[in-house]
């Protein structure tokens, strides 16, 4: 495969409901979409970076700059044909920026697999035609509000619900949901809002038979997470700290977690994601696919990954209608609590031309012959 051109599309996608982050509330998402043109065909992917550096140091505009100034010129500079599986190594001289790297790598996987007539799920080793879907419920105003929203999501068919919690809005709200839904697969996410001094409080969650408590402490405090895990019966799941197979292995060694949230963008692409997957299988760690408010492009990758046998828990894999009035691709729809794995080649989906036009803020075309390659 030889990379000939890349298009970078910036879109403004309206959300069904406002999304709250550390930088405030927003009603739309700034989406960066990558289209690659190769000698064998074209491929698409989505960069999952947020518009502001609230989840990780990466953000949308910064990811586009890294792609334009460093990653794409470096790939243009490769004179010999290369495989998508080699992109991780080819981009390794650029330190960090996993979400930007994942976007270009996944787009190249899409192009390569389409040219070979192969689905992404099959290339990864997936075996499930359907994957169980999960949904996230925000903190809300009070326990009754949270119970009501969970009821709506269960009525829609979701088999797993993850509750956001925070100090002062935790144990009693989880209790109310568990009493209303005694058999529901339930998890909670602390988003780093607690400290190890809250161990006694968090231990009260043990009675609710949760699948896990996700990211209760600051992402960089692995030792505190290990201390907390030793004091709880509820398994600890980590998110932000798990940026590579090495970091996953170290956190498992320390006992900082026993459940892993795997996000393709956070670890830098499919090659690294598969290394994490194999490590978790070897270590018998709990494993699920995390989401980043993706459009159908990113969701297709997540669903294909979740079709592998080793994913032990439903992931953050909601239907398109949970987030988008109109998805960028044909929508993912919930059926019997599951999402269908795409059956077409490559990612199995592509952006709808009308949605690209409707939501586009800008587009930049980069061609091999016009870009001076990085050494």
List active site positions. 164, 263
Write down the residue that tokens 């809005």 correspond to.
169
DSSP assignment of 258-281 equals SEEEE-HHHHTSHHHHHHHHHHHH
280 within 8 A of 248, measured Cβ to Cβ: yes
Closest CA to 60 of 29, 35, 87, 91: 29
Burial of 218-237, coded b for 16+ CB within 10 Å and e otherwise, reads bbebbebbbbbbeebebbbb
Q: Closest by alpha carbon to 265, among 252, 280, 276?
A: 276
Angle at 217 between CA 216 and CA 218, to 5 degrees: 135
Q: For residues 210 and 221, what is the distance between their CA atoms, to the nearest angstrom?
A: 23
Contact 264, 304 (CB under 8 A): no
Q: What is the DSSP letter of 340?
A: E
Per-residue CA distances from 209 to 48, 147, 264, 313 (Å): 32, 17, 28, 14
C-alpha distances in Å from residue 236, one per residue of 171, 184, 190? 16, 19, 11
């Amino acid at each position: 495969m030889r990379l000939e051109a890349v298009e970078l599309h910036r879109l403004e996608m309206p959300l069904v409901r406002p999304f709250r982050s550390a930088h405030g509330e927003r009603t739309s998402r700034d989406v960066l979409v990558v289209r690659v043109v190769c000698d064998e065909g074209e491929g698409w992917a989505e960069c999952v970076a947020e518009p502001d550096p609230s989840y990780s140091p990466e953000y949308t505009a910064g990811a586009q700059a890294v792609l334009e100034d460093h990653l794409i010129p470096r790939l243009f500079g490769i004179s010999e044909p290369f495989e998508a599986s080699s992109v991780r190594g080819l981009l390794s001289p650029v330190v960090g920026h996993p979400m930007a790297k994942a976007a270009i790598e996944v787009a190249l996987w899409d192009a390569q697999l389409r040219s070979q007539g192969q689905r992404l799920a099959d290339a990864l080793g997936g075996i499930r035609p359907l994957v169980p879907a999960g949904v996230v419920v925000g903190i809300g105003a009070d326990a009754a509000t949270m119970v009501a929203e969970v009821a709506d999501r269960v009525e829609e068919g979701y088999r797993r619900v993850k509750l956001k919690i925070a100090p002062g809005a935790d144990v009693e709200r989880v209790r109310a949901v568990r009493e209303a839904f005694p058999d529901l697969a339930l998890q909670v996410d602390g988003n780093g809002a607690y400290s190890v001094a809250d161990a006694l409080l968090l231990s009260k969650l043990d009675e609710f038979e949760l699948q896990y408590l996700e990211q209760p402490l600051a992402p960089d405090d692995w030792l505190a997470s290990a201390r907390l895990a030793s004091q709880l019966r509820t398994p600890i799941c980590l998110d932000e700290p798990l940026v590579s197979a090495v970091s996953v292995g170290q956190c498992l060694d320390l006992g900082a977690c026993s459940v892993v949230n795997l996000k393709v963008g956070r670890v830098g692409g499919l090659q690294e994601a598969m290394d994490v997957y194999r490590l978790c299988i070897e270590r018998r760690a709990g494993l699920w696919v995390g989401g980043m408010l993706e459009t159908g492009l990113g969701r297709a990758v997540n669903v294909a990954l979740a079709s592998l046998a080793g994913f032990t828990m439903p992931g953050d894999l909601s239907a398109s209608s949970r987030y988008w009035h109109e998805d960028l691709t044909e929508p993912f729809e919930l059926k019997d609590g599951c999402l269908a794995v795409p059956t077409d080649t490559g990612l199995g989906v592509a952006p709808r031309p009308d949605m690209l036009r409707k939501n586009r803020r800008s587009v930049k075309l980069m061609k091999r012959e016009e870009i001076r390659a990085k050494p």
